[in-house]
Amino acid sequence: MLISPAYAQSAGGGLNFASVVPLILIFVIMYFLLIRPQQKKVKQHKEMVAALRRGDQVVTQGGLVGKISRVKDDSEVEVELGEGIRVRALRNTISQVLSKSDPND
């Protein structure tokens, strides 16, 4: 036989450090390219939703544009879409604030 039995056994099995390094690098790259920016976006949205107040002009996730007429509680706001048209909306469904109201209101 040309190959010794000890060499043949060690060549086929076992997990070495060189095979784990690419997996670690992929995880680090995924964290910085996907996970971290998404966490920042969620944090910004939470801050925006927490700062909603009466008079802010907003866009809902459904594409409706209106003005907040009343903040009901921690999870709901009342949005006026037009003359006399008011709808209740969950705070989390507000996707964008177009203009902020004066803090004196």
Please count the CA atoms within 13 angstroms of the CA of 59 that sit on its side-chain side: 8
> What whole-number percentage of the chain has pLDDT above 70?
84
Residue 65 lies in a domain: yes
Work out how many domains the chain is built from and give that number.
Answer: 1
Question: Are 79 and 89 a contacting pair, CB within 8 Å?
Answer: yes
Structure tokens that stand for 80 in this block: 């006026």
Mean pLDDT of 40-55: 93
Residue 14 lies in a domain: no
Q: What is the pLDDT of residue 10?
A: 53
Residue 56 lies in a domain: yes
Please count the CA atoms within 13 angstroms of the CA of 49 that sit on its side-chain side: 20
Q: Which helix (H) or strand (E) holds 63?
A: none
Indicate which CATH number applies to the domain containing 72.
2.30.30.60
| pLDDT tier at 61, thresholds 50, 70, 90 | very high
List beta partners, residue 6: none
Mean pLDDT of the chain: 86
Q: Which helix (H) or strand (E) holds 59?
A: strand 57-60
Mean pLDDT of 80-103: 90
Number of residues in the chain: 105
Q: What is the pLDDT of residue 12?
A: 52
